[in-house]
Amino acid sequence: MTNAEAVDLGHRVLTPNYKQQPIALVRGEGTRVWDADGRRYLDMLGGIATCALGHCHPAVRAAAEAQLGQIWHTSNGVYNLPSLRLADELCRRSFGRRVFLCNSGTEANEAAIKLARRFHFAAGAEERVEIVCAVGSFHGRTLGALAATGQPKYQKGVGPMPAGFLHVPFGDEAALRGAIGPRTAAVLLEAIQGEGGVRVAPRGYLAAVRKACDEAGVLWIADEVQTGMGRTGTLWAYEQEGAVPDVMTLAKALGGGLPIGAMIATEKAGAALTPGTHASTFGGNPVACAAAVAVLETIEREGLLQSCRDAGEYLRGRLYELRRRVGERVVEIRGRGLLVGVELSAEAAPVVARCRELGMIVNLASEKVVRFAPALNVELPDLDEATDILERALAA
Ligand SMILES: *Cc1c(COP(=O)(O)O)cnc(C)c1O
């Protein structure tokens, strides 16, 4: 099948909910991907921050293949060993002591919302149901996570939204304190608003969130679906803020590109999900869990947190140079580690399309922002090439 045939079939058989580039990717290796016509691209998106080790990393592939030869799925009525190993590794490497495994970011957030409400219910505070979220946030597309998402465009035409979600300006401590009250169950925030345009919380904000939550007796849920797994240069973005959440949600890079999500909680918060209160048929899938364990081990073994910090600094340096050359077409360069947003003065969609024509995959994070989220082991010459392609796309 060629790209043109794939596009044609896609137009006929898929629901038209995605704005898709007119190519089908058929193969990937490291930071390179190939389309159905045999054309090669530099992948600076890593499947939207999922393929944290690049495409088809041998360690992840070996782990998944070994598990495929053992057992593919069990019910949650029994234990499976890869899910136990993964939960244990996640607890060892974070504040967490209890893990719920699922299949996506939105599911991880649904679990966190339910956990927060049940936490207070179990303590006799049934009125504590409200979740305070941020304007411009993104938490997923199922109805609870969508109600938490602070971007009305995603909610249009699919209401009514579940009740109990409030939105305050991101990074504004006073607004957050004003919104927390006797009905609040939790505060749900990203450390960096990824989909919202790679907007980094101001220094000190998350520490202030921690303090406000402690004073009011509410839970802080950190949505690290996009920022987790080393993306910002530490395994979890909260580590750079000197503040520790009660609950953290993960997905995107957790399985290195295989579908998996997780909600991680403290002992006290996690205890709220008592038997029967939550479940997922595929949650804890042994193949996905085996891959995720390999991703964690590889990040450690290959020193990829340091690589990510160095590469991120290098990329931002190259982008600042680019901005000096192209002037006000680049408004701002934001991000941490290898989650980088380049805000343009105009719509970024034509620039993203032009980058693809020039052989590089990136995408939009809000209308005017080009997002880079390459593999954590991306090499510096790739970043030179990426900057060069972006500059040529801007010139066109
Ligand atoms: C992508 C994303 C989600 C949703 O994840 P899905 O796997 O698409 O459901 C939730 N939160 C954040 C911060 C994300 O970036």
**Residue 35 annotated as catalytic:** no
pLDDT at 235: 98
CA distances from 190 to 227, 232, 238 (A): 8, 12, 9
- What is the radius of gyration, based on Cα positions, of the chain? 21
Atom of ligand 1 nearest to the CA of 227: 13
13 & 83 share domain:
no
Residue range 309-349, pLDDT digits in tens: 999 999 999 999 999 999 899 999 999 999 999 999 999 99
98 & 167 share domain:
yes
Question: How many structural domains comprise the chain?
Answer: 2
Q: End of a domain among 276, 301, 326? A: 301
Q: How far is the CA of 77 from the centre of ligand 1 (A)?
A: 28
Residue range 107-146, pLDDT digits in tens: 999 999 999 999 999 999 999 999 999 999 999 999 999 9
Q: Check residue 291 and give left, alpha or beta (phi > 0: left; psi -120 to 50: alpha).
A: alpha
181 pLDDT exceeds 90?
yes
162 & 310 share domain:
no
Bridge partners of 183, per DSSP, are none
Termini Cα distance of the chain: 30
Strand segments (E) across the chain = 25-29, 32-35, 40-43, 98-102, 130-134, 165-168, 184-190, 192-193, 199-200, 219-223, 247-250, 261-265, 330-336, 339-344, 360-361, 363-364, 369-372
268 & 358 share domain:
no
Q: How far is the CA of 118 from the centre of ligand 1 (A)?
A: 23
**Residue 372 annotated as catalytic:** no
109 & 182 share domain:
yes
104 pLDDT exceeds 90?
yes
171 pLDDT exceeds 90?
yes
pLDDT (mean) for 369-390 = 98
Q: End of a domain among 301, 330, 347? A: 301
Domain that holds residue 319: 3-57+303-395
pLDDT at 307: 98
pLDDT at 191: 94
CB 326 within 8 A of CB 11: no
Flag whether the pTM goes above 0.85: yes
Residue range 52-68, pLDDT digits in tens: 999 999 999 999 999 99
What phi, psi does 107 have (nearest 5°)? -65, -35
Catalytic residue chosen out of the listed positions 35, 100, 170, 223 = 223
Cite the DSSP H helix spans in 16-172. Answer: 46-49, 58-68, 81-92, 105-122, 143-148
Atom of ligand 1 nearest to the CA of 107: 9
Q: End of a domain among 301, 333, 368? A: 301
Q: Whose CA is nearest to atom 15 of ligand 1?
A: 226
229 & 337 share domain:
no
**Residue 138 annotated as catalytic:** yes
295 & 233 share domain:
yes
Atom of ligand 1 nearest to the CA of 259: 7
138 lines ligand 1 (CB under 6 A): yes
Q: The tokens 């909600």 sit on which residue?
A: 263
CATH of the domain at 170: 3.40.640.10
181 & 83 share domain:
yes
pLDDT at 396: 85
Residue range 199-252, pLDDT digits in tens: 999 999 999 999 999 999 999 999 999 999 999 999 999 999 999 999 999 999
CA geometry: angle 117, 281, 107, nearest 5 deg: 40
pLDDT at 132: 98
104 lines ligand 1 (CB under 6 A): yes
Residue 268 has which token pair?
């006290």
